Amino acid sequence: MPSWIVDALAALFIVGVAVMPFGGEEFRPSTPFAFVMVLAPAVLLPFRRRWPVAVLAAMLAIYGATALTGTLSPGVVLAAAIAMFSVATQSTRRRSIITAACAILGIALLSLFAALGSVFDPRAIQFAVTLAFAAAAGDATRSRREYIVAITERAERAERSREEEAPGATPVPQPGLERLDALMESFGEAGLQVNVRSEGDMEHVSRATSLVAYRVIQEALTNAHKHGTENRAHVLLALTDTELSVIVTNPISGPISREASDRAAEGADARAAGGLGLLGLRERVASVRGSVTTGTAAGGYRVAVTLPRQHRPQPSTSAQGGLE
């Protein structure tokens, strides 16, 4: 989900709980100062991507200031949880644990000196538990991202070593999507008319994803040229914030549709043993945590692959999406 949507939804919630009536008096700002304080997180929260710890500290300070006036805003709690999530995704596990512990200790001290009057107040405990869950979720997100980076790097090394380890082979750079135009020209010269539609800037995908996507298109078009009933095919590349979809279709029509589909699958199976067929690409697709589906579609044979877009984290920039 784009970051601005998350920020907008969080701001809407923060403003909503500040102006909408609740059952308890403590949830409604009783003074102009308290009203400004409960709205402040909506303005500060977008800055968490660049200064996550500072924004988290500001949220805790706002919590203490509003608690001193006897106001407990759920919007402040939500903003602090989102800030804590950002800290955990952009920090090491050790730093995240220390930050979460300090934040929870800060909640306890603020509750002791504020209108709550006790560190064991259920509302203070709920706030502390919410921060702990946010820290755990952020740490899990960061760990998964680091794991995917490691898998991607392993796939890139494996892709480079395949040709290098072949007997008598001279190491050459492996083609990626930057060579797609040349690939289309070669199929055109072979008599296959290919219509390509690209949605998004393919330069923003990782190298491993680019390599695998190129191989998928190459093998799918080879399959279409050898086993399709018409000399034409369609390639769609659709890039989103998180993934690259590659869909290759070729028409099969008339009473031989089923037969053509079977021959296409058999042709892929026949080449899979050498690692060159569509089924042989499943291992490569899986190495970057992608997925493959093949089979007949409306009037044709379809190969659809979903690949991760980009795995390398950029924790210090403001371009991150989602809650981070």
Each residue's pLDDT, cut to its tens digit, for the chain (324 residues) gives: 567 787 788 888 888 777 776 656 666 667 788 788 888 888 888 898 889 999 999 998 988 888 777 777 778 888 888 999 999 988 888 998 999 899 888 877 777 665 555 556 677 788 888 889 999 999 998 888 777 767 766 766 666 666 565 665 565 678 889 999 999 999 888 888 999 999 988 888 888 889 889 989 988 888 888 877 778 899 999 999 889 999 999 887 654 444 444 444 444 444 433 344 555 677 778 878 889 988 888 768 889 999 998 744 344 333 345 666
Q: Cβ(108)–Cβ(100) under 8 Å?
A: no
Looking at residue 304, its pLDDT comes to: 92
Q: What local confidence, expressed as pLDDT, does residue 41 receive?
A: 87
Q: How many CB atoms within 10 Å of residue 217?
A: 25
The tokens of 303 are what?
Answer: 């190969």
**pTM score above 0.75:** no
Gap between the Cα atoms of 20 and 6, Å rounded: 21
Residue 195 is predicted with a pLDDT of: 92
* Amino acid (one-letter) located at 79: A
147: Cα within 13 Å, side-chain hemisphere: 7
- Joined together, the tokens standing for residue 245 give 């979809």
Asked if residue 221 lies in contact with residue 259, where contact means CB atoms within 8 angstroms, the answer is no
Quick one: tokens of 153? 């790097």
Residue 315, pLDDT score: 42
Q: Where are the alpha helices (DSSP H) in the chain?
A: 3-19, 32-44, 52-68, 74-89, 93-113, 122-164, 180-189, 207-227, 257-272, 282-287
Contact, 38 vs 14, CB < 8 A?
Answer: yes
Please report, for residues 81, 193, 214, the alpha-carbon distance to residue 122 in angstroms, rounded to integers and kept in the order given: 17, 68, 56
